[in-house]
Amino acid sequence: DAKTTQPNSMESNEEEPVHLPCNHSTISGTDYIHWYRQLPSQGPEYVIHGLTSNVNNRMASLAIAEDRKSSTLILHRATLRDAAVYYCILTITQGGSEKLVFGKGTKLTVNP
The Cα–Cα gap between 70 and 26 comes to 10
Say whether residue 46 binds another protein (CB under 8 A): yes
Closer residue to another protein in complex, CB, 14/31: 31
Options 98, 106, 110, 112; binder of another protein; rule CB under 8 A: 98
Say whether residue 91 binds another protein (CB under 8 A): yes
Is 45 within 8 Å of 37 (Cβ atoms)?
A: yes
- β-bridge partners, 106: 86
On the CB side of 1, CA atoms within 13 Å amount to: 15
Closer residue to another protein in complex, CB, 63/92: 92
SS3 30: coil
Footprint of another protein on this chain (CB under 8 A)?
32, 34, 36, 41-46, 49, 87, 91, 95-105
